[in-house]
Structure 1
Amino acid sequence: METRWLDGDEQRTWRAFLWTTRLLTDALDRQLQREAGMPYTYYMIMATLAEVPGRRMTMTDLATLVYSSLSRLSHAVARLEERGWVRRSPNPDNRRVTFAELTVEGLAVLERAAPAHVAEVRRHLLDPLTGEQVAQLREIMSLLWERLDPTPGRPGPYPEIFGPDV
């Protein structure tokens, strides 16, 4: 098969996407480190747990939702346990299954960190765009997410993100 090289416009689009997503992730990570003492990855794990019933789920399901390997997630959760923000416990019905649960202290930390994090997301991603551009970006990200998700047909980790209006 012959390579379909990127033309000039495609190359500029690719690099703009690549470097912008990198810069955005780095900015969010720096803000969370500075103001909440945690990396972006920890925030996403805690936010995911905060949004599920009982603030508790299996490590396997959590790894799926945060798009992480189980070993990488286990390392991060161990650090969160050391801080008292997350607790792991075995499933009494199946010893091979481990639950991760956001503690009350972890929820409090998350609630303190969230306003500044949301402000940073607004500042770097949403505020520079018009409402129409935000809708277009959501539609584009939805399309790309559906093509990239390793579990075809699975609803998004948060169905309300892409929702029925896309």
Structure 2
Amino acid sequence: MHGLQALSDLPGLDEAEQYCWQQFLECSLNLVAAVDVCLREAHDLSIRDVLLLELLSRPNRRGHRLSALAETLRVSQGQLSTQIRRLEGQGWVTRSPTRGDPRGILPRITGEGHSRLHAAMETYARGVRMHYLDQLEHEQMVDLADSCRRINGSLGTVGARPD
């Protein structure tokens, strides 16, 4: 990815730090794009669609509020609403009003959405294995997971992007 090479002169980072960051950034963007291509070609679903459907498939007594879903997916509520409307149009998600808040909606995955998700998760897993896991020895995988856990822990909860 040649466009990211412009990041090789970040003030305050030494050469090794710049290289480490550049490789991480390029790798993470490429991995997400590669898995996204697998999902789009096989199921006409984006990786964000699969992540949303997977979240909606989890049991939640009070329903899945848009604000919590948007924060989890790191998107704005507007972006999420657009995505939900599109998935609703395909019959994979329904929306119902929230109790006590006539403006709020609770998205729910449909039976067809569950079927699409199940098939897509197999493709998702194959893509993750092919583009990510198969490139690493077991020890490297464990070390990378631990590094990512530590980085995520230091970030805390980063909110969704505003509309």
- Find the partner of 1:18 among 25, 35, 38: 25
Find the counterpart in structure 2 of residue 94 from structure 1: 101
**What does residue range 16-165 of structure 1 map to in structure 2 within 5 Å?**
16-53=23-60, 56-150=63-157
Question: Any idea what SS the aligned residue of 2:135 has?
Answer: coil
Q: Are 1:55 and 1:101, in contact at CA under 8 Å, matched by a contact in 2?
A: no
Length, aligned pairs only: 150
Q: Are 1:48 and 1:66, in contact at CA under 8 Å, matched by a contact in 2?
A: no
Structure 1 runs, 4 residues or longer, greater than 6 Å off: none
- CA drift of 1:127 comes to 1.8
What's the TM-score once normalised by structure 1's chain length?
0.82
Deviates more, 1:103-112 or 1:84-93: 84-93
**Structure 1: gaps spanning 5 or more residues:** 153-166
Q: Are the structure 2 counterparts of residues 111 and 56 from structure 1 closer, same or farther at C-alpha, using a change threshold of 3 Å?
A: farther
- CA drift of 1:27 comes to 0.3
- CA drift of 1:150 comes to 3.0
Question: Any idea what SS the aligned residue of 1:127 has?
Answer: helix
Question: Any idea what SS the aligned residue of 1:88 has?
Answer: strand
Q: Are the structure 2 counterparts of residues 61 and 123 from structure 1 closer, same or farther at C-alpha, using a change threshold of 3 Å?
A: same
Provide the rounded CA distance (Å) in 2 between the counterparts of 1:34 and 1:55: 34
Provide the rounded CA distance (Å) in 1 between the counterparts of 2:58 and 2:71: 15
1:5 counterpart = 2:17: no
Find the counterpart in structure 2 of residue 159 from structure 1: none
- Give the RMSD, CA atoms, in angstroms: 2.0
Provide the rounded CA distance (Å) in 1 between the counterparts of 2:87 and 2:153: 30
Question: Any idea what SS the aligned residue of 2:136 has?
Answer: coil
Provide the rounded CA distance (Å) in 2 between the counterparts of 1:55 and 1:109: 24
Q: Output one character per residue of 1:50-99: Cα deviation in whole Å (capped at 9) or x when no partner.
A: 12347941112211221221111111111111101111110133223310
Deviates more, 1:126-135 or 1:46-55: 46-55
Q: Output one character per residue of 1:96-136: Cα deviation in whole Å (capped at 9) or x when no partner.
A: 33101011100100111111110110111112212222221
